[in-house]
Structure formats: structure tokens, C-alpha cells
Structure 1
Amino acid sequence: MRINIIAAVAENNAIGKENKLLYWLPNDLKRFKALTTGHTIVMGRKTFESLPKGALPNRRNVVVSRTVAELPGCDCYPSVEAALQSCSPEEDIYIIGGESIYRQTLPLADRLCLTEIADTPEGADAFFPEYDGWKETVREDHDTDEKHHYRYSFVDYEKKN
């Protein structure tokens, strides 16, 4: 089983505000879809509730919740451990948030697929954990354009041995 964490992270590690993403970056959304389609995505209940149309298509949606046992189009588990145990050994798993799920899975992850955004937003209330001790393996820098109001980079990291 390969555990990937995918997130869009500001310079101060901010990832959200009031259960919403901080940034609308079409290329980030395309990358997210390309990487996660056909795989299992694992998220917390609040992240699931933030999805505009519910369960994401063409993926196995796994939700970790201590309070909800059933959600349409999802497999629900009471803990991260139970959610990961439900996955097969050959599966590529993508952890998609939120803050608590990222904190719990960072020590277990094999790879980080981050969109690092050149901005420090005001009022964020959800943050990605520190990820020192990871080795950058791929970086693709992007400038601003008519659809992207911030510079950003797609950066992959793997655990340092």
C-alpha cells in the first residue's frame, strides 16, 4: 500500500478557512483529479461535507468519522487505522484532508503531493503539519495568469531514509 498525501498549502502551511479551501486554482484541481482518479481517497467528515457534490466520482471515497456511520457513496470508518486496514496492499491511497487527518497520516505517508502557494492568507483556521524531513523529488513552478492569481508550485516529496 502506498500512502500519498495531497494538499494545497500556503507559505504559512494554511490549508483552509471555515471548512473551505483557501484558493481556487484550476490547474491544482486538474492535478488533483489526475492523481486521485481510479484510486482510494481518504478524508475526514468535515472535508467530505465541504465537497460541493458529495462523493467524488471514479474513486473509492473513504470517510473517517467517529459520529457518522453512513454517507452516500462512501465507506465510513471510525478511525484512520480502520480506514487504512480496509484498503488492499496494492492500493494507491490519497489522503485529502483535513488538518486532523493530515496530522494522523503524515508519519505513515510515503509521498506528499503538494501545491505550494506563494501567499500567506489572513484568517486561516486549518493548517498542514510541518513537513521537515522530507526530500523534494519533483518541482514544477507556475507563474500567475488570468486564472491563477498567485504563483504556485507542484512539489512532490518522499520520506528521507
Structure 2
Amino acid sequence: MTTISMIAAMAKNRTIGVNGRLPWHLKKDLQYFKQQTLGKPMVMGRKTFQSFGERPLPKRPHIVITRDLNYNPEDVTVCHSLKEALEVAATMGDEVMVIGGGQIYKEALPLCDKIYLTEIEMDIEGDTFFPTFDHLNFTETDRTRDCENDISFDYVTYTKKK
């Protein structure tokens, strides 16, 4: 059975993006993202993919969700619904990584088995947010504190209760 996971970095006020970009630059968090996603299929919305410069990250399949029937970038699989994207991704690996953006996270949350969340200890203005989730439905299974550029953050893993 395929595990559906979400991975994100969010500020205390749930901000995950501003103007199509991350509102911070934390090399350690980018390394954590790479470590968690390498070799696993990644499901994302079109705007998230465009934030990479519309070039796939190496060594992991990209499944991009868009309503645009003519959108067809090179070296990615294009789907037109989360359901379709998750079905395709499940054929590519045991753990599917949903990587954003805000609307995709919101749709994927009820289906999600695990959340890898970098919790950044600051409030940041933004226009894209990680959805609120009921912590009663998840168990915190790992927490590691780190710091970079005078910004403290925790890598937290939440696993859905069975």
C-alpha cells in the first residue's frame, strides 16, 4: 500500500509562500526536503512547479496538477486532479510526497498518512498557507530542533493515527 505524505515548511502563522516563492532561505531545510523526497514521486500544483523555474528537480518523478489542458512541460507527468495524480504517483513508489501548494495541501490532507513539517519559529507575511489540521488525528513521531541565520525551526513528523 502506498503511503501518502505531505512535506512543507511553515511559519508560526502557517505561511508557506509569498508571490510564488518561499519567504525564507534556509539551506538546512532545503537539504531536509531533498533527503525526504529523493527517489520518491512528488505531486505538486502548477504554481509550485513553476517556482522551480519549470525544471524538474533531479532523481525524483514530478507529477504536476493543473486545470490547463494545454500545459505540457518537459520531463514531468501532467494530471488534472489530485485523485489522478495520486493514482499515477502510486505506480512510481511506495511513498508519494505531496509538496504543495496551499490548495493541493488542503485537498490532500484528508488522504494523508504522514506530514513532514518544518515549523519555523517566526511569523511571516505571505499569501499561501499550510492548512490547519486536527492534531488529535496525528501522532508526533519525531521532532528535531535546528537553527540557521538566527532562525530557529523544528523538523516534525506527524503520523496519522490508525
Range into which the TM-score falls when normalised by the shorter chain = over 0.9
Structure 1 residues 63 and 90 mapped into 2: Cα distance closer, same or farther (>3 Å)?
Answer: closer
RMSD between aligned residues: 1.4
Query: What are the residue-to-residue correspondences of 1:3-18 with 2, within 5 Å?
Result: 3-18=4-19
Structure 1 residues 36 and 89 mapped into 2: Cα distance closer, same or farther (>3 Å)?
Answer: closer
TM-aligned CA deviation for residue 149 of structure 1: 3.1
Gapped regions of structure 2 (runs ≥ 5): none
Q: Which moved more, 1:27-36 or 1:127-136?
A: 127-136
TM-aligned CA deviation for residue 132 of structure 1: 2.1
Q: How many residues align?
A: 157
Q: Which moved more, 1:53-62 or 1:87-96?
A: 87-96
Q: TM-score, normalised on structure 2?
A: 0.92
Q: Which amino acid aligns with 1:155?
A: V
Counterpart residue number, 2:114: 111
TM-aligned CA deviation for residue 22 of structure 1: 1.3
CA–CA separation in structure 1 for the residues paired with 2:134 and 2:25? 26
Gapped regions of structure 1 (runs ≥ 5): none
Q: Which amino acid aligns with 2:103?
A: S
- 2:123 aligned to 95, 120, 126, which one? 120
Question: 3-state DSSP class of the match of 1:97?
Answer: coil
Q: Which amino acid aligns with 1:91?
A: D
Q: Which moved more, 1:44-53 or 1:112-121?
A: 44-53
* 8 Å contact from structure 1 (residues 69, 77) kept in 2: no
- 2:99 aligned to 81, 84, 96, which one? 96
CA–CA separation in structure 2 for the residues paired with 1:140 and 1:17? 26
Question: 3-state DSSP class of the match of 1:63?
Answer: strand
Q: Which amino acid aligns with 1:118?
A: E
- 1:138 aligned to 126, 139, 142, which one? 142
| Percent identical | 37
Q: TM-score, normalised on structure 1?
A: 0.92
